[in-house]
Structure 1
């Protein structure tokens, strides 16, 4: 079974590294899945999504505090930045 970045759960540093590898593979295989394909666009989206991620958690009733640093939060920001407009 092929795992996509959205399906992959990050729990620690090593799984975060694996997520980055999955994201690279996804971008290379199907760049149309990404809204933010260039580094400047992706970096801008990371900043915007990091600013808005608590709202995402609240809307999904995830009971996570985005102000508490966690590998999973970093991963959620990167996953979201792929498609954030």
Structure 2
């Protein structure tokens, strides 16, 4: 299962912990595929994606979260790996 497919299974804290493990493993194994490999770049991308995330949810026909869920956190962490 691809990393982006694992996001849909994040429903609780344990799922998010497991997802973060897979995210970290993906960075270690596929660093060249990541757009943001330094902490500074990753956090800058996270800031940008969070400020624009309503568009992502609208474009993917998902409700815009009023309050972040465990899945929303996984979305943010994953998107920050490549958002520019």
- What TM-score, normalized to structure 2? 0.90
Q: How many residues align?
A: 82
RMSD value, Cα: 1.1
What does the per-residue CA deviation read over 1:22-53, in whole Å, with 9 as the maximum and x for residues that have no partner?
Answer: 01100001101110000000011111111111
Q: Aligned equivalents of 1:60 and 1:30: distance in 2?
A: 26
Unaligned runs of 5+ in 1: none
Structure ranking higher on relative contact order (CA contacts 8 Å, 6+ apart): 2
- Distance (whole Å) between structure 2 residues aligned to residue 58 and residue 67 of structure 1: 13
Map 1:46-65 onto structure 2 (within 5 A).
46-62=46-62, 64-65=63-64
Between structures 1 and 2, the one with greater helix share: 2
Moved over 2 A (4+): none
Normalising to structure 1: TM-score of the pair? 0.89
Residue 29 of structure 1 aligns with which residue?
A: 29
Query: Alpha-carbon deviation of 1:5?
Result: 2.1
